[in-house]
């Protein structure tokens, strides 16, 4: 590597030996156009091992490098690394975030687009005015000198001037953006000179632009073309519409882009989230109100198909909800399974039964055309200053979703589902009369009678009325409403096209293995794979698999199980010379043991609350114990360096909640990758005694859960000088489980070198093992704690 150019982008004295090897291998793979799966434990130096060869290859082949993550802390780290590179090698790099975090006037996407277009029209009109005024002055001089042709030409120019002045007068009532106006009219050269002096953060760009009255986001879009490196969020690549625009701003085709995905074990779930499409009952009702206010011959057809879908949605969730289930609903969405193995889903069947007319496809086509026209009308009204806000076309949203639902809800890998929740407030969040005009007037009595007859047949008649309200029960307003969703089970539908288009990609994480599973679920083929384990001294860490109770969901209420878990945690806390971090399968279990465990200063992470302040309080302590869920925000992407935390405990095998949605993912993976179609799980703790290998379970549940567990273990021991203990508190992690209950054992899912470090220990022996480890490192301040206490 001494002759190789990639190292010119390495900003420090020299890479580690394993880092040098990774740089060489990645450089060769990029030259071959291969994708790379790169697993590296903490301390591997993954970021520079990927960036160094990627930047060199991009410079040689005229390409742009994107490095992307879904973790804010990592974005800050990437900026620091890019800044260090820029100090030693010429590099134009930017950090790009979404408009929402950089807008100076806090408007939405569509409104921003309309403002930009109007502002641009204003500046162009002002430019035309300036040119015409200059032209008429020149012609006036020529005319005064006796040039008859100039006199005639000036008369025409004056007419044009009058027309432009009239146009400009109309802008007085039209909404424009002052910040973008300054972008177009002021000298922005100082901004771009400042931008590329270093690698600026989005907040720095915002502040610099705000002080000068510019729009920093639009200037960044303008200046991003031709840069060497862009740091960005996942959605810039995983959302197809955003990606297309983003590449256009870069001035690059996909084949001219090298993408580096950090925390790449999260790409699977992130791609699934970007692919999901939803439509709430509120939007459907608003669309009907919109149609009721429109005088267009297509409204009847549009409302006909939209009304049928609303009825189908409501009828499906009303018939599925029991009285106790209804009473238990809160403001969180609650799924209702509607998928059928042998026929279309329940909502589609109800829609087909509810619909009457010449054909729903023809009505839907009219609804889409009308929606597009209405959307264009709203755009023009906003630009002309007729409205103060850019109105969204609800009809277009509903028709677009319904087109996708009818075409795709039965596709393999797509899971149709509906959800319900209680409104945040005391009634509907849309006017009750929104749909009344159309439903009762223009739709005709036959359509209205059919709807009302079907509703009255249901017990209690609790369906939404024709005015968009939700009826009543016991004299009180019914505040339940629904949502339809197309959920994508197999993320390769999003990621495969992306990886096929890119020049190459590097997917890096501390937990990417098994590589073949990552390739399958993301649609990668023939990737270059490499894995580097722990690089820090082995004698400064210990990983214990505690042969305590197997914390099955069915055993969590068992008193003896709770007592063993409690005593073991108290032993671990007492023997830790510093802070202890405890991960549980859920927030409920974290709260349970937060209330049971004595010892240390206890901190409880709760759902829906900010974790930053809690983490700062915990890390500033010296005997703190933090109780949290493995599926919360503290399980990955957060470092606990040095004295921040000494011991981390994962309690149980923290499988996620296994609802019908997860069952659908299992079934889709099983069908796609060769396992059983679907097997009920019952307890949600593994395949069950005697069950054969289930690819769906392994791909969808077991491997992601072990990855999360490995991520949690990696929160401590972040440098060669650091030291600590990692504890897996559940019999299913032990070697004994692999022999005595192989259907539930998870030890084999860990990579070989991590399995080799696992030390099995009985619960009552854990405190002695920890005492020996920490004592050998002279970690205790004063006398070591007595295990007999």
Q: What would the mean pLDDT of 363-376 be, rounded to a whole number?
A: 97
Lowest pLDDT segment from 191-195, 312-316, 437-441, 718-722: 437-441
Q: What would the mean pLDDT of 496-521 be, rounded to a whole number?
A: 96
Tokens (6 digits) for 250: 């870069």
Angle CA(152)–CA(157)–CA(161) in degrees, nearest 5? 150
Q: Judge whether residue 390 has pLDDT over 90.
A: no
Task: Report whether 597 contacts 576 (CB < 8 A).
Answer: no
Phi, psi angle pair for 745, to nearest 5°: -65, 140
Phi, psi angle pair for 592, to nearest 5°: -60, -50
- Write the CB contacts of 277 (distance below 8 Å, at least 6 apart in sequence): 401, 404, 485, 486
Listed residue (531, 658, 640) closest to 37, CA to CA: 531
Q: What would the mean pLDDT of 729-748 be, rounded to a whole number?
A: 95
Listed residue (583, 541, 581, 598) closest to 774, CA to CA: 541
**The pLDDT value given to residue 110:** 85
User: CA distances (Å), 637 to each of 38, 264, 267, 401, 712, in order?
Assistant: 17, 12, 14, 35, 9
Give dist(CA 383, CA 552) in Å, integer.
Answer: 60
What does the pLDDT look like over 242-257, one tens digit per residue?
999 999 999 999 999 9
Q: Judge whether residue 478 has pLDDT over 90.
A: no
Q: Judge whether residue 772 has pLDDT over 90.
A: yes
Give me the half-sphere count of Cα atoms (radius 13 Å) on the Cβ side of residue 473: 15
> Which single residue is written with the structure tokens 């050269």?
189
Task: Report whether 198 contacts 83 (CB < 8 A).
Answer: yes
Give dist(CA 339, CA 341) in Å, integer.
Answer: 7
Q: Judge whether residue 446 has pLDDT over 80.
A: no
Q: Which residues pair with 627 in a beta bridge?
A: 582, 604
Give dist(CA 470, CA 619) in Å, integer.
Answer: 50
User: CA distances (Å), 461 to each of 174, 314, 318, 421, 451, in order?
Assistant: 48, 11, 10, 19, 12
Give dist(CA 236, CA 739) in Å, integer.
Answer: 46
Give dist(CA 335, CA 329) in Å, integer.
Answer: 11
**The pLDDT value given to residue 100:** 84
Q: pTM for the complete prediction?
A: 0.86
Phi, psi angle pair for 684, to nearest 5°: 75, 25
Lowest pLDDT segment from 262-266, 438-442, 531-535: 438-442
User: CA distances (Å), 649 to each of 412, 599, 726, in order?
Assistant: 39, 15, 6
Task: Report whether 233 contacts 69 (CB < 8 A).
Answer: yes
**The pLDDT value given to residue 706:** 97
Helix (H, G, I), strand (E, B) or coil at 529: strand
What does the pLDDT look like over 173-183, one tens digit per residue?
888 999 999 99
Task: Report whether 461 contacts 455 (CB < 8 A).
Answer: yes
Question: Dihedral, CA atoms, 690, 693, 696, 699, nearest 10 degrees?
Answer: 120
**The pLDDT value given to residue 294:** 95
**The pLDDT value given to residue 430:** 36
Q: Judge whether residue 214 has pLDDT over 80.
A: yes
**DSSP secondary structure code for residue 80 in this structure:** H
Instruction: Determine what percent of the chain is predicted with pLDDT higher than 90.
Output: 75
Tokens (6 digits) for 86: 């820029």
What does the pLDDT look like over 47-60, one tens digit per residue?
999 999 999 999 99
Task: Report whether 143 contacts 154 (CB < 8 A).
Answer: yes
How do beta strands 229-233 and 724-729 pair? unpaired
Cis peptide upstream of residue 100 (ω within 30 degrees of 0): no
Tokens (6 digits) for 5: 């150019």
**The pLDDT value given to residue 420:** 97
Q: What would the mean pLDDT of 266-288 be, rounded to a whole number?
A: 95
Of 350 and 452, which is predicted with more confidence?
Answer: 350
Instruction: Domains for the chain: give ranges and CATH numbers.
Output: 5-9+28-96+224-274+503-532 (3.40.50.300), 109-189 (no CATH), 277-488 (no CATH), 538-655+716-776 (3.40.50.300)
Of 692 and 591, which is predicted with more confidence?
Answer: 591
Helix (H, G, I), strand (E, B) or coil at 604: strand
Of 437 and 71, which is predicted with more confidence?
Answer: 71
How do beta strands 601-604 and 624-629 pair? parallel
Tokens (6 digits) for 129: 């005015």
Give me the half-sphere count of Cα atoms (radius 13 Å) on the Cβ side of residue 332: 5
**DSSP secondary structure code for residue 410 in this structure:** T
**The pLDDT value given to residue 787:** 86
What does the pLDDT look like over 744-769, one tens digit per residue?
999 999 999 999 999 999 999 999 99
**DSSP secondary structure code for residue 441 in this structure:** I
Number of Cβ within a 10 Å radius of residue 167: 15
Give dist(CA 142, CA 194) in Å, integer.
Answer: 46
What does the pLDDT look like over 560-615, one tens digit per residue?
999 999 999 999 999 999 999 999 999 999 999 999 999 999 999 998 787 889 99
Give dist(CA 296, CA 293) in Å, integer.
Answer: 9
Instruction: Determine what percent of the chain is predicted with pLDDT higher than 70.
Output: 90
Listed residue (134, 117, 129) closest to 168, CA to CA: 129
Taking the CA atoms of 275, 281, 282 and 285 in sequence, report the sign of the dihedral they define: positive
Tokens (6 digits) for 641: 């360096």
Tokens (6 digits) for 210: 């705000």
What does the pLDDT look like over 622-664, one tens digit per residue?
999 999 999 988 878 788 888 999 999 999 999 988 889 999 9
Give the start-end residues of each E strand in 217-351: 229-233, 257-261, 277-280, 334-337
What's the distance, CA 242 to chain centroid? Answer: 13
Q: What would the mean pLDDT of 708-725 be, rounded to a whole number?
A: 92
Lowest pLDDT segment from 210-219, 544-553, 564-573, 653-662: 653-662
**DSSP secondary structure code for residue 99 in this structure:** G
Q: Judge whether residue 689 has pLDDT over 70.
A: no
> Which single residue is written with the structure tokens 């430019």?
127
Listed residue (746, 749, 752, 750) closest to 733, CA to CA: 746
* DSSP secondary structure of 442-487: IT-HHHHHHHHHHHHTSTT--S--TTS---EETTEE--EEEEEEEE
What does the pLDDT look like over 130-185, one tens digit per residue?
999 999 999 999 999 988 898 899 999 999 999 999 989 988 888 899 999 999 99
Give dist(CA 67, CA 275) in Å, integer.
Answer: 21
Taking the CA atoms of 678, 679, 683 and 689 in sequence, report the sign of the dihedral they define: negative
Give dist(CA 167, CA 156) in Å, integer.
Answer: 17
Helix (H, G, I), strand (E, B) or coil at 626: strand
Q: Which residues pair with 487 in a beta bridge?
A: 415
**The pLDDT value given to residue 465:** 34
Give dist(CA 132, CA 124) in Å, integer.
Answer: 12
Tokens (6 digits) for 556: 């969590």
Average pLDDT, the chain: 88
**DSSP secondary structure code for residue 691 in this structure:** P
Tokens (6 digits) for 464: 């939404």
User: CA distances (Å), 253 to each of 7, 25, 243, 244, 556, in order?
Assistant: 27, 25, 11, 9, 54
Number of Cβ within a 10 Å radius of residue 738: 16
- Write the CB contacts of 240 (distance below 8 Å, at least 6 apart in sequence): 494, 497
**Residues 26-64: b if buried by 16+ CB within 10 A, e if exposed:** bbebbeeebbbbbbbbbbbbbbbbbbbbbbbbbbeeebb
């Amino acid at each position: 590597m001494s002759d190789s150019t990639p190292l010119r982008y390495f900003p420090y004295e020299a890479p580690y030996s394993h880092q040098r090897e990774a740089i060489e291998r990645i450089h060769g793979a990029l030259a071959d156009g291969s994708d790379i799966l790169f697993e590296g434990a903490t301390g591997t130096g993954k970021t520079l091992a990927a960036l160094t060869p990627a930047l060199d290859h991009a410079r040689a082949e005229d390409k742009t490098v994107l490095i992307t993550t879904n973790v804010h802390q990592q974005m800050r780290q990437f900026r620091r690394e890019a800044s260090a590179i820029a100090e030693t090698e010429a590099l134009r790099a930017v950090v790009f975030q979404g408009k929402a975090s950089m807008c100076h006037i806090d408007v939405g996407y569509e409104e921003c687009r309309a403002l930009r277009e109007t502002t641009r029209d204003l500046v162009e009109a002002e430019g035309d005015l300036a040119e015409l005024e200059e032209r008429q002055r020149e012609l006036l001089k020529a005319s005064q000198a006796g040039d008859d042709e100039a006199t005639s030409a000036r008369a025409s120019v004056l007419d044009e001037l009058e027309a432009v002045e009239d146009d400009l007068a109309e802008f007085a009532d039209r909404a424009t953006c002052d910040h973008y106006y300054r972008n177009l009219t002021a000298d922005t050269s100082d901004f771009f000179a400042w931008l590329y002096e270093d690698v600026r953060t989005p907040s720095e760009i915002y502040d610099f632009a705000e002080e000068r009255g510019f729009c920093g986001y639009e200037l960044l879009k303008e200046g991003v073309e031709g840069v060497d490196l862009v740091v960005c969020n996942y959605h810039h690549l995983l959302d197809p519409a955003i990606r297309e625009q983003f590449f256009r701003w870069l001035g690059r085709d996909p084949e001219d882009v090298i993408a580096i995905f950090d925390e790449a074990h999260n790409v699977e779930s992130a791609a699934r989230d970007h692919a999901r499409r939803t439509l709430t009952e509120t939007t459907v009702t608003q669309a009907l109100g919109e149609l009721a206010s429109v005088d267009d011959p297509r409204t009847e057809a549009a409302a006909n198909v939209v009304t049928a879908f609303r009825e189908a949605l409501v009828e499906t969730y009303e018939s599925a909800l029991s009285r106790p289930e209804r009473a238990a609903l809160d403001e969180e969405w609650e799924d209702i399974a509607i998928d059928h193995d042998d026929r279309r889903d329940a909502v589609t069947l109800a829609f087909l039964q509810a619909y009457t007319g010449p054909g729903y496809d023809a009505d839907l086509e009219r609804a889409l055309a009308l929606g597009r026209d209405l959307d264009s009308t709203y755009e023009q009204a906003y630009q002309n200053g007729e409205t103060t806000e850019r109105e969204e076309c609800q009809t277009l949203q509903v028709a677009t979703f319904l087109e996708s639902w009818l075409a795709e809800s039965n596709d393999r890998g797509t899971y149709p589902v509906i959800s319900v929740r209680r409104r945040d407030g005391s009634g509907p969040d849309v006017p009750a009369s929104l749909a009344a005009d159309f439903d009762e007037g223009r739709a005709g009595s036959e359509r209205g009678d059919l709807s009302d007859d079907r509703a009255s047949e249901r017990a209690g008649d609790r369906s939404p009325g024709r005015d968009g309200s939700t009826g009543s029960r016991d004299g009180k307003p019914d505040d339940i409403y629904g949502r339809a969703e197309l959920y994508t089970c197999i993320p390769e539908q999003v990621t495969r096209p992306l990886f096929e288009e890119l020049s190459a990609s590097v997917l890096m994480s501390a937990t990417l293995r098994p590589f073949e599973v990552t390739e399958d679920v993301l649609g990668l083929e023939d990737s270059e794979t490499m894995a580097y384990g722990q690089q820090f001294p082995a004698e400064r860490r210990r990983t214990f698999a505690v042969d305590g109770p197997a914390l099955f969901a069915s055993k969590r209420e068992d008193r003896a199980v709770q007592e063993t878990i409690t005593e073991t945690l108290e032993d671990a806390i007492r023997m830790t010379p510093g802070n202890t971090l405890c991960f549980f399968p859920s927030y409920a279990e974290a709260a349970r043991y937060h209330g049971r465990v004595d010892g240390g200063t206890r901190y409880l992470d709760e759902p829906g609350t900010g974790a930053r302040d809690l983490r700062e309080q915990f890390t500033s302590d010296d005997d703190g114990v933090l109780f949290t869920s493995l599926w919360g925000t503290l399980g990955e992407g957060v470092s606990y360096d040095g004295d921040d935390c000494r011991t981390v405990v994962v309690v149980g095998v923290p499988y996620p909640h296994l609802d019908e949605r997860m069952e659908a993912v299992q079934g889709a993976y099983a069908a796609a990758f060769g396992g059983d179609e679907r097997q009920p799980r019952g307890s949600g703790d593994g395949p069950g005694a005697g069950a054969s290998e289930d690819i769906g379970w392994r791909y969808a549940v077991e491997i992601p859960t072990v990855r999360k567990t490995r991520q949690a273990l990696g929160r401590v021991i972040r440098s060669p000088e650091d030291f600590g203990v990692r504890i897996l508190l559940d019999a299913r992690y032990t070697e004994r489980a692999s022999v005595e209950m192989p259907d539930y054992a998870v030890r084999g899912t860990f990579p070989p070198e991590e399995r080799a470090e696992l030390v099995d220990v009985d619960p009552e022996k854990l405190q002695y093992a920890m005492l020996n480890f920490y004592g050998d490192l002279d970690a205790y301040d004063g006398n070591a704690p007595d295990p007999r206490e």
